Chains A and B, each alone.
Chain A
Amino acid sequence: MEFVMPYTKERVVHGDALAKKQTIAFRLADMRIETDAMRWMTWKAASILEKGGDATKQAQLAYTYAGEQAMWIADEGVQMLGGHGYLRDNPVEMWYRDTRTVSVLEGAVGV
């Protein structure tokens, strides 16, 4: 988000900054909503562990949600940069590749 937002404010398409188009602005708003949600879910699971509690459920929910949302954010980030997002000159394609691993990292436990 920190990388994509300045780009969408600078990039002019059909006479207006990309970020001034609702289809882009609303997706940025959703990215903000989901990063907040992921953060609090992670903190909640972590705080249960910190106190020595059983965080199985909270950890599963936080992990599952982060797996979905991080991928979605990286995906949309690439999309907003268009062709530039596809170039290895910019980091978004790397984040797109990196976040793809989040939901498969559970390894043997997942099976």
Chain B
Amino acid sequence: MIDFELTSADEKILDSAHQQAIIGQRYARYFDKHEDELTPAEFPEAKDFPNPVTLAEEGVNESSGSRILHSLVMLETYWGGLGLHRSKWGLGNTVLKTVATPEQNEKWKNYTIAIAITEPGAGSDPASIRTTATFDRETDEWILNGEKIFISQAESGDAAMVLSRFVGADGARGMTTFLVEKGTPGFTVGPQLKKLGIRSHDTCNLLFENCRIPEFNHIKGDFKSTMSVFNDSRPMVGAMALGVARAALDFTREKLAERGIEISYRGGVRSRAAVVDRLIRMEAQYEAALLTVLRSKWMEQQNVPPKVEASIAKAAGGKAARKITQGCIDLLGPEALSEDHPLDRSFRDGRIFDIYEGAGEIQRLIIARSILGYTSRDLR
């Protein structure tokens, strides 16, 4: 049976997530203006609410499933701009969980681990990374040299999972990952980057200068296993993008209503004002992208890997956030640009989702290769 409805258990969790997002939205402007300050691990109001991500992940009876619910919780959280509970999970944790030995997992399971892939010359093309690790036979240590940029959770995290080229003791070469803990000599975290938006989002560059790492910290994720963490995160980013887009749409609808402009879905294009038509078209784009996210998450829930669908969700969400946040400003006019309202922040925050975690172009490459039956060599 085809069913698009949420269960009452879903709605209960999402309602709680939305109440938290309303509080989060009150703090969002402060952290937008004070980008050098990290958000607290928990805001004071957090004690009144369960962490909705935990609820979604632990699987509540009668819910639509943790994959679907988690993405919708993130959508609500991004509606507000920041979560009351800071995430303790980084994509580096995903690498640890999937490829590390039980001993390594045990040691770092409670760490927040950032993932460090991007470099000045290697963003959309991570195979071009130049960070190197050389094995020192005398001390049984690896020596890491290189620079990583645009790293999330760089300051708030406890460690970084660093993708590096390596030359082993036996002369073998390739790509691999190392867990580098904060405080390791030779590992420096740069200042918070000055960004267009998502200014509350902890983002810095990392520098490794003759940074010595014990063999035990060699996590042995290869290029493929490291990049595969993005399979899960792509539709999630689509959901986050839609949270920002919906905040813009909700605000715009509310302001139009104050001016006496109601949205009717009954008539056709020739019966409605241009402003209503544009809002309906943006709502349609939102809905279109949302359903691609849910499709991808539903597949995950059924244990079917959503290879193309994950990219579709990311591409559709990223584009929707750009177009909707831009378009809402048109509909409200100069008032939209005031810092008394959330819309200028939505506009700036909403621009990131088509850039990070695989730009829209990279998602289109993945989709095109798949539908055309091309390899990455055939189509680049």
How far does the alpha carbon of A77 sit from the alpha carbon of B119 in the complex, in Å? 38
* B288:A110 contact, CB within 8 angstroms: no
Determine the chain B residues whose CB is within 8 A of the CB of A38 once the complex forms. Answer: 288
- Known interface pairs A25-B379, A30-B364, A60-B280; A103-B374 also in contact (CB < 8 Å): no
* A64:B292 contact, CB within 8 angstroms: no
Residue in A60, A68, A110 whose Cβ sees the most chain B Cβ within 10 Å: A60
* B281:A26 contact, CB within 8 angstroms: no
How far does the alpha carbon of A28 sit from the alpha carbon of B363 in the complex, in Å? 12
* A36:B312 contact, CB within 8 angstroms: yes
Determine the chain B residues whose CB is within 8 A of the CB of A9 once the complex forms. Answer: 372
Show 12 residue pairs from A and B whose CB-CB distance is below 8 angstroms, ordered by the A residue. A5-B371, A8-B372, A22-B379, A26-B361, A29-B363, A40-B288, A44-B291, A47-B3, A61-B283, A61-B284, A62-B284, A68-B284
* A47:B2 contact, CB within 8 angstroms: yes
* B285:A20 contact, CB within 8 angstroms: no
In the complex, what residue of chain B is closest to A1 when comparing beta carbons?
B371
Chain B min CB distance to A69 (Å):
8
How far does the alpha carbon of A33 sit from the alpha carbon of B285 in the complex, in Å? 12
Contact of B367 among A29, A109, A111 (CB under 8 A): A29
Which 3 A-B pairs give the minimum distances between C-beta atoms?
A110-B268, A37-B288, A40-B291
For A44-63 the 0/1 string (1 means CB < 8 A from B) is 10111010000011111110
* A37:B291 contact, CB within 8 angstroms: yes
- Known interface pairs A44-B291, A61-B280; A33-B315 also in contact (CB < 8 Å): yes
How far does the alpha carbon of A33 sit from the alpha carbon of B371 in the complex, in Å? 11
In the complex, what residue of chain B is closest to A21 when comparing beta carbons?
B379
Contact of B284 among A28, A33, A65 (CB under 8 A): A65
Check: A19 CB closer than 8 A to any chain B CB: yes
In the complex, what residue of chain A is closest to B360 when comparing beta carbons?
A26
- Known interface pairs A29-B364, A36-B292; A19-B283 also in contact (CB < 8 Å): no
Chain B min CB distance to A105 (Å):
9
Check: A89 CB closer than 8 A to any chain B CB: no
Check: A84 CB closer than 8 A to any chain B CB: no
- Known interface pairs A5-B371, A32-B371; A60-B265 also in contact (CB < 8 Å): yes
Interface size on A, residues (CB 8 A): 41
Determine the chain B residues whose CB is within 8 A of the CB of A61 once the complex forms. Answer: 265, 280, 283-284, 287
Check: B289 CB closer than 8 A to any chain A CB: yes
How far does the alpha carbon of A58 sit from the alpha carbon of B372 in the complex, in Å? 32
Residue in B294, B363, B371 whose Cβ sees the most chain A Cβ within 10 Å: B371
Please name 6 further chain A to chain B contacts, defined as beta carbons within 8 Å, in addition to the given A25-B379, A29-B364, sorted by A numbering. A40-B295, A43-B2, A47-B4, A50-B2, A106-B269, A109-B268
Determine the chain A residues whose CB is within 8 A of the CB of B107 once the complex forms. Answer: none
Check: B224 CB closer than 8 A to any chain A CB: no
Check: B47 CB closer than 8 A to any chain A CB: no
* B361:A20 contact, CB within 8 angstroms: no
Chain A min CB distance to B253 (Å):
12
In the complex, what residue of chain A is closest to B1 when comparing beta carbons?
A47
Determine the chain B residues whose CB is within 8 A of the CB of A65 once the complex forms. Answer: 281, 284-285, 287-288
In the complex, what residue of chain B is closest to A61 when comparing beta carbons?
B284
Determine the chain A residues whose CB is within 8 A of the CB of B285 once the complex forms. Answer: 65
In the complex, what residue of chain A is closest to B308 when comparing beta carbons?
A32
Residue in A32, A58, A68 whose Cβ sees the most chain B Cβ within 10 Å: A32
How far does the alpha carbon of A25 sit from the alpha carbon of B371 in the complex, in Å? 9
For A65-98 the 0/1 string (1 means CB < 8 A from B) is 1001000000000000000000000000000000
